[in-house]
Structure 1
Amino acid sequence: MSLEIERKFLVKNDDFKKVAFQQKILQQGYLNSDKHRTVRIRIADNQGFITIKGVSNTSGTTRFEWEKEIDVQEAKQLLTLCEPNIIEKTRFLVKKGIHIFEIDEFFGANKGLLIAEIELNSENETFEKPSWLGEEVTGNSKYYNASLSKLPFSSWK
């Protein structure tokens, strides 16, 4: 059990791919996407996870998060019970200064969307911003993965 402090940004271009030190294929679905708590099932390459997240604070940067690794076969079975629209994306990891950005390139119904996240130790911690980092969308719930599973990027006007 821990608090997750993170900020989210849109990404201007794919220059981050040139400096990424790792990438993973992710599939994730939601057993529950209520705004007060989400229960997510994720497969990252060959690992399975179940994650529970609480409601964000007023700035949208901090919320309770609990995650546990589960058997990948169990995760595949649980994905079949999830709400419609499984999220598919590739996650790229990029080090900038002392921080690591996680950049998600979405596919399927969210194709064309690029979102970067950075986890911090405190809400006002400073960090180096790479040139490919765009507009901040921290706290904008339409960019939460649970929201993207209900109202995909391709349906936005």
Structure 2
Amino acid sequence: MVEIERKFLVLSNAYKTEANTKTRIVQGFLNTDPERTVRIRIKGDQGFITVKGKGNTTGVSRFEWEKEIAVPEAEALLKIAEPGSIDKFRYEVQVGKHIFEVDEFFGENEGLIVAEVELSSEEEAFEKPNWLGEEVSGITKYYNSQLSKNPFKKW
């Protein structure tokens, strides 16, 4: 239940032509405490509840537990979420043996595009596509839980 993930800014829209899927995601947070965030998400036609722990010193590894829930349950939980929400499209792009999840944000976070890649270890090598920019792993202002409270447009 440890997620190992690196996050990057995206330099161009080139990922869109390489994407295998595009899915809308709407999410809110029941708790945004960095020690234990609790996220409610509707991804396409599925609902999820996710608990994430605090990241390690590099910000690349952290506890994550996720369970699929019915969409009506997710909708009900979103109604009691903390103020602020996330609305984005997620593109999945195969690059070598890895899948990059590229999130294009809307609403108060419009203009922000980030890519994440999950790894089996912090040292695992991966191919970097030409549209991948600066690494922002572990920079908390890029966490969705923080973007819901301090949106990109207010930076």
Q: TM-score range by the shorter chain?
A: over 0.9
Check if 1:91 corresponds to 2:90: yes
CA distance in 2, matches of 1:12, 1:83: 31
In structure 2, C-alpha distance between the alignment counterparts of 1:146 and 1:31, rounded to whole Å: 10
Counterpart of 1:121 in structure 2 is 120
Displacement over 3 Å in runs of 4+: none
Q: Hey, what does 2:60 align to over in structure 1?
A: 61
TM-score, normalising length from structure 2? 0.99
- The Cα offsets for residues 2-58 of structure 1, whole Å up to 9 and x where unpaired, read as 100000000001100001000110000000000101000000011000000000000
DSSP 3-state at the match of 2:77: helix
Distance in 2 separating the partners of 1:85 and 1:104: 17
Q: How far 1:94 sits from its partner (Å)?
A: 0.1
User: Is 2:97 aligned against 1:101?
Assistant: no
Q: CA deviation at 1:86?
A: 1.0
Q: Residue 44 of structure 2 aligns to which amino acid in structure 1?
A: D
Q: Secondary structure at 1:14's aligned position in 2? A: coil
Residue 24 of structure 2 aligns with which residue? Answer: 25
Q: How does 1:1-157 map to 2 (within 5 A)?
A: 2-156=1-155
Distance 2:135 2:144 in 1: 16
- Normalization by structure 1: what TM-score? 0.98
Q: Residue type of the partner of 1:94?
A: V
Give secondary structure in 2 for the equivalent of 1:75. Answer: helix
Kindly tell me the number of residue pairs found equivalent between the two proteins: 155
Q: Which runs of 5+ in 1 are unaligned?
A: none
Q: Which amino acid aligns with 2:103?
A: D
Taking the aligned partners of 2:53 and 2:85, their CA distance within structure 1 comes to 20
Amino acid at match of 1:148: L
3-state SS, counterpart of residue 34 of structure 1: coil
Unaligned runs of 5+ in 2: none
